[in-house]
Every structure is written in C-alpha cells, then in structure tokens.
Amino acid sequence: MTRRLAHQGRTESYADAPPEAVFDIVSDVTRVGEWSHECRGAHWVGAEREAAPGVRFRGILQTYDLLHVAPGFDRIYWFLIKGHRDRRGALAADLDRLAALAAAFSRR
C-alpha cells in the first residue's frame, strides 16, 4: 500500500476584529512571540521599525533537541514521528491566539 503525504495544507481561524487589527499584529515582528508556538520573539535589524520590502528582522526560535540521523533516514523519521509532520493543531492554536490579540487590540 502506498501512502501519500500532504505537502500543503490549510488552517483557518476567525477573528472578531477588522483585518487592519490582524495585519497590525502580524506585521509587527516584535509581537510574534505573543502568538507563535515556534518563534519566541524578534527584533528589527537596522533603522526601520515597520514591515516593508527589503526591511530585515531577526527571529528568536524555540530551541529543540536535535537528533542526528544519517542522510536519507530523515524522511523515515519525519514519516514515523507524527508531531514533526502534522502541525495543524499547533498552527490552529497560533491563529486562535492571533485572533484573540486582534480582537482585544480592536476594542481599545
């Protein structure tokens, strides 16, 4: 039996907030730690302080214990360890946190 693995997906969340409130939070990289399960924070690199083409930032990611596997076996590991391939729950939780922040932000 051949099993196909999804290479794309979709996760949605609904916010009781205008799109501008959501965009204000997403475009401010210094706030990513408030809603992301992976990125703990970020800061702007250079003088710019808002998102625009060419503007750079540096993110601070959650640290993971890395397991070294021989080349080729990484795909087997990915296939066997569901948490490394199915991140729908974590991404949905990120979007729910983002929606809650946007709703609170828009009520101010």
Contact 97, 11 (CB under 8 A): no
- Residue range 73-82: average pLDDT? 70
Q: 98, 95, 29: which is closest to 60 by C-alpha?
A: 29
Q: Is the pLDDT of residue 30 over 90?
A: yes
Between CA 26 and CA 85 the distance in angstroms is: 24
pLDDT value at position 88? 80
Bridge partners, 45 (sequence order): 56
Per-residue pLDDT tens over the stretch 48-64: 988 889 999 999 887 66
Choice between 2 and 104, residue whose per-residue pLDDT is larger: 104
pLDDT at 5: 56
CA 103 to chain CA mean position, Å: 19
* Nearest residue to 102 (alpha-carbon basis) of 41, 29, 25, 27: 25
Contact 35, 12 (CB under 8 A): no
Mind listing the pLDDT tens digit for each residue in 3-25? 555 667 788 888 899 999 999 99
Q: What confidence score (pLDDT) does residue 47 get?
A: 93
The beta-strand segments (E) located in the chain are: 39-45, 56-61
Q: CA-CA distance, 37 to 32, in Å (whole number)?
A: 9
